[in-house]
Structure 1
């Protein structure tokens, strides 16, 4: 029945500034009106709605101000350079001090985080194939730690 995600939404304070930012990420503007803009995440499959209004002042919580974009492992590995070229600073996740991408072996994914101009949490994320013996690792591992662990496999 469910084929995938059609849309997600984020609150913003300035539509034009957000259009510039999300365009820098490589998303294509699908349409806009006076206080709303929609960007294709995957053209004709899923899009992101940006809604200008006072809701951008809501305190951050991942259930209302977060979205993760799917990328490949290779792209995520080089995401720091890409973010730098478009003028975006990565941010640490949770209690981590490092902004570097990391692997969650127990979840089978890897991530790097950054914010949009309104402080909405954005994430680049990929699936990671995890051998069974490593699926109990709950530490967040740097790519270097992860790749060294897999080499020993």
Structure 2
């Protein structure tokens, strides 16, 4: 499902709980010790590093606690079920409820389909798939279902 990311670092409150969560997403542990774990996203090329710390509750800018994993559009069509099958709850994003996702975020000249969820420490995670846009008009955010009916 997940196709790419170079690196990301996140604070976590329970390394063992977080390891199990990220394994559910299909990521492989590259190495770990008692306070940190590296997960391969693309073996030998990109990774996610989790640091166990008691500072998780400290406020962070949201972008420091957000990771977007690239997926293929075909996988995005089944992303909701894929996450739910793994016991992962989709969260409301940009005013779209979990039932309304995946959603489309139009940014001319590109658009993306996305679905949002949290890890066990509340870090914001996203599955995102690029979409082709054949028009130059400004579009509104919408569900992927509505996007598919327009294209």
Aligned to 2:148: 147
Q: CA deviation at 1:133?
A: 2.9
Aligned to 1:21: 21
**Could you say what secondary structure the match of 2:34 adopts?**
coil
C-alpha change, 1:8 and 1:142, in structure 2 (3 Å) is: same
**Could you say what secondary structure the match of 1:23 adopts?**
helix
Unaligned stretches of 5+ residues in structure 2: none
Retained in 1: the 8 A contact 2:96–2:103?
Answer: no
The question of 1:57 aligning with 2:57 is answered: yes
Q: CA deviation at 1:60?
A: 5.4
**Could you say what secondary structure the match of 1:108 adopts?**
strand
Q: CA deviation at 1:56?
A: 1.4
How is 1:62-73 mapped onto 2 (pairs within 5 angstroms)?
Answer: 62-73=62-73
| Counterpart Cα distance in 2 of 1:61 and 1:74 | 32
The question of 1:82 aligning with 2:82 is answered: yes
Structure 1 residue ranges, 4+ long, deviating more than 3 angstroms after superposition: none
Q: CA deviation at 1:83?
A: 0.7
Unaligned stretches of 5+ residues in structure 1: none
**Could you say what secondary structure the match of 1:63 adopts?**
helix
Q: What is the number of equivalent residue pairs in this alignment?
A: 144
Q: 1:129 aligns with which of 127, 132, 135?
A: 132
TM-score after normalising by structure 2: 0.89
Cα RMSD over matched residues? 1.6
